[in-house]
Amino acid sequence: MRMRNPKDKDEVINNCEFLITDNINFNNNNDIYIEIGMGKGNFILNNALNNPNINYIGIEKYSSVASIAIKKMRDYKLDNLKVIISDVINLEELLKHKVKVIYLNFSDPWPKKRHAKRRLTSENFLKLYDEFFKDKCTIILKTDNDDFFAYSLESLKDYGYEIVELSYDLHSTSIPNIMTEYEEKFSKDQIKIKYLKAIK
């Protein structure tokens, strides 16, 4: 069920100084990493805090959720963190040839076969990401869903990606990791997190 709109949602969004609406400008030439579906923002915020020489953009299509993330981020006044409120399918021109890395964290698995094209690792979306990347394509994915993970592995390989890191239990490895809100909950419930890094 989609969350209710926070009462101050419009005020928070309208006064957000790091919200991207028409062009991307970080005032530097550092690499840009994006998270598609940033949720409440823990992952992208902590990455930006830990890596000041990388620019981060959190993309969230639901303004109600994005407003919660913005409230977390605004007190830090980070120069390397921005937010886009949009469905990613509308961002081809805005992100064209600008992105170094895409994070896909706990994406909607769309479990029904007839909805497969909506999965963020379907061929439709992989073609879109081709337009985002400025050179080598790098996708980092985390999920709790076994079927979505298996589908993503197959889809990425079929599209020409090489899987360079893979784990069916991320938290048992030494792979550096910043947890999302979902991931913290899954971890408490002892649900194993699947992880991959793919390069093309």
Please state the domain extents for the chain.
Answer: 9-199
Give the count of alpha carbons within 13 A of 17, CB side only. 9
Report pLDDT for 3. Answer: 56
Q: What is the mean pLDDT of the chain?
A: 93
What share of the chain has pLDDT > 90, as a percent?
82
Cα angle at 68 between 137 and 145, to 5 degrees? 50
What is the distance between the alpha carbons of residues 94 and 2, in angstroms, rounded to a whole number?
Answer: 27
CATH number of 9-199: 3.40.50.150
Tally of CB atoms within 10 A around 154 = 11
What is the distance between the alpha carbons of residues 200 and 194, in angstroms, rounded to a whole number?
Answer: 20
What is the distance between the alpha carbons of residues 199 and 150, in angstroms, rounded to a whole number?
Answer: 17
What is the distance between the alpha carbons of residues 142 and 103, in angstroms, rounded to a whole number?
Answer: 8
What pTM does this model have? 0.94
Which positions are catalytic? 108
